[in-house]
A and B are shown apart, each in its own frame.
Chain A
Amino acid sequence: MNLRYMTKELYYQKRRTLMSILGLSIGIALLIVLNSLSLAYRQAAHVPLKEIGADITVQRSGDVPKDLAGAVFPCSAVTIRKEEVEKIQKLPGVRGIGTGLLLWVFDPNRAWIVLGIEKENSIGPSLLRSSVTEGRFLEEGKPEALVEQAYARQFGIRLNDTISVADKKFPVVGFVDASRAAKIAVANVYLPLKEAEDLAASSKELQSVSPYAPGDVNLLFIKADQEKITSLASEMKGILGNKATVATPDSFLKLLGSLFALSDKFTLAASLIAIIVAVLIAFKTMAGNIAERAREIGVLKAVGWTNRNVVSQLMSESIIQCFMAGILGLLIALVAAYGLSFMKVNIPIPWEMSPTPHFLPGGGDQIFKTLRLPVHVPWNLAFFAILLSIIIGGMTGGLLGRHISKIKPSEVLRHE
Chain B
Amino acid sequence: MSKSTILSGTDLSKKYGDLEVVKGVSLAVNEGEFVCLVGKSGCGKTTLLSLLSGLEKPTKGKVSLDGREITTSSEDELALFRRENVGFIFQSFNLIPTLSAWENVALPLFPIKMTSEERRRRATELLGKMELGHRIEHLPSALSGGEKQRVAIARALINNPKIIFADEPTGNLDSGTGEAIMGILNKLHKEEGVAILMVTHEDELAKTANRLIRMKDGEIMS
Contact = CB atoms under 8 A, between A and B. Distances in A.
Given A304-B82, A306-B76, A415 B99 contact: no
Nearest to A302: B88
Interface in B48-94: 50, 55-56, 75-76, 79-80, 82-84, 86, 88, 90-92, 94
Given A414-B46, A415-B168, A306 B99 contact: no
A300 B106 CA distance: 11
Contact of A415 (B82, B83, B103, B171): B171
Indicate the member of B55, B108, B167 with the most A CB atoms within 10 Å: B55
Interface string A158-196: 000000000000000000000000000000000000000
A8 B110 CA distance: 14
Contacts of A13: 98
A4 B159 contact: no
A338 interface: no
* Interface-central residue, B46, B79, B83, B86, by most chain A CB under 10 Å: B79
Contacts of B132: none
B157 to A, nearest CB: 12
Nearest to A296: B96
A87 interface: no
B107 interface: yes
Contacts of B96: 5, 296, 299
Contacts of B167: 415
Contacts of A9: 98
B171 A303 contact: no
Nearest to A416: B92
A304 B78 CA distance: 8
B97 interface: yes
B155 interface: yes
Contacts of A416: 92
Contact of B107 (A300, A308, A408, A414): A300
Contacts, number: 82
B111 interface: yes
Contacts of A299: 94, 96, 107
A307 interface: yes
A8 B98 CA distance: 6
Interface string A286-308: 00000000011011111111111
A317 to B, nearest CB: 11
Interface residues of B, number: 34
Contact of A303 (B91, B97, B108): B108
Given A408-B55, A410-B50, A414-B46, A303 B90 contact: no
A413 interface: yes
A12 interface: yes
Nearest to A414: B46
Contact of B92 (A301, A305, A309, A415): A415
Contacts of B139: 12
Contacts of A5: 96, 98-99, 103, 110
Residue from B83, B90, B92, B98 having most chain A Cβ neighbours under 10 A: B98
Interface of A: 2, 4-5, 8-9, 11-13, 295-296, 298-309, 408-410, 413-416
Interface of B: 46-47, 50, 55-56, 75-76, 79-80, 82-84, 86, 88, 90-92, 94, 96-99, 103, 107-108, 110-111, 116, 139, 155, 159, 167-168, 171
